A and B are shown apart, each in its own frame.
Chain A
Amino acid sequence: MILTGSQIIEELNSNNIIISPFNIAQINPNSYDFRLGNSLKAYKNVVLDPKIRQDVNEIKIDKKGFTLDRNKFYLGSTFEKMGSNKFVPIIKGKSSLARLGLFIHITADLIDIGSINHWTLQLFAVQPIIVYPGMLIGQVTFWMVSGEITLYNGKYKDTIGPCESLSYLDNNN
């Protein structure tokens, strides 16, 4: 079951959901609109190997905006620190930006329960598109769970801003 907007507010008040900073104007009937942080990362290499640590260039998004190149892949992050120890979050793009051909994740929309930090966004533009710091870029939904809860304690815990892939830490790749 998915939480309604008013239930999201109730769970925020009970500390079962964390959204910081929180703005009530960003609540939707069954989701919360989140903002884009003010920096991006892009890989220096063209060819990526998950077994090898990949260096990144950091890009500051200034107020005039930054144009995403359609042949490139960028990592962004939510402006908000978000998560829940009780519900499973799933992120989606905002339909207004999807209608412009912007992916904000390309496969991994499911967030682990207990992952409370800035969430990394996987940005891919079908056509060049300008993004701005703090713009409303996506939506988060919260889902009820069945079973005893184990909280996330993985390699992306407590990340701040966009975090590149840490797949090279996997021992069996």
Chain B
Amino acid sequence: MILTKKKILDEVINSRIIIRPFLRSNLNPNSYNYTLGKKYCILDKKGLGDCNAHNLKTIPKKGLLLMPRVLYLMHTHEIIGSHNYVVSLIGRSSMGRLGLFLTLSADLGNLGKAHKWTLEVYCVQPIMVYSGMKIGQVSFWKPRGEITKYIGNYSNYNLPKTSIL
């Protein structure tokens, strides 16, 4: 089952869902609008990359123009997570309607530690993005069965993290 606005709010108050910072006005009927964080990185021509301090860039105040056929790794401004509900992160329809892919294929998160989520961002036409803009939505789903916590590595990162495959 997917959580409604009221239920998300209740569980944020109960600390069973973590969203930090949290703004009540960013609640939708069945999701929460997250905003875009400041840091990003681009993969190199071989499709490889490492988002270390050396090649991690900052979105300028006047915005960043994304170009087609380039994969950008960005991140949520908010720390988001839950040990009790499964998260799913997608883009907002207002951004999707402008041809912006936000999370490529893998929109399903793991139960576990709250952190800033890496976003795979890809555009069809060149598009401006701004840090702090409402860019996507996270929904929360009630699982069935005993909960095993995620022990993978990605939840340790609060900045864009390249694939550790």
Contacts and interface: CB of A to CB of B under 8 A. Distances in A.
Interface of A: 1, 43, 46-51, 54, 71-73, 75, 88, 105-110, 112-114, 120, 122, 124, 143-152, 154, 156, 163-167, 170, 172-173
Interface of B: 1-8, 10, 28-31, 63, 65, 68, 88, 90-103, 124-130, 132-134, 136-137, 139, 142
Contacts of B91: 106-108
A113 B29 contact: yes
Contacts of A163: 97
A152 B29 contact: yes
A65 to B, nearest CB: 21
A75 B99 CA distance: 9
A110 B139 contact: yes
Main secondary structure, interface of A, reads loop
Contacts of A147: 3-8, 10
B98 A120 contact: no
Contacts of A47: 65, 125-128
- Which 9 residue pairs are nearest across A and B when measured between Cβ atoms? A147-B7, A107-B91, A147-B4, A73-B99, A165-B97, A108-B93, A167-B94, A108-B96, A73-B124
Given A49-B63, A110-B88, 13 more contacts: A47-B125, A48-B98, A73-B124, A106-B100, A106-B124, A107-B102, A120-B93, A124-B99, A145-B30, A149-B29, A166-B94, A170-B94, A173-B133
Given A47-B65, A107-B90, A112-B30, A170 B134 contact: yes
Contact of B4 (A50, A71, A150): A150
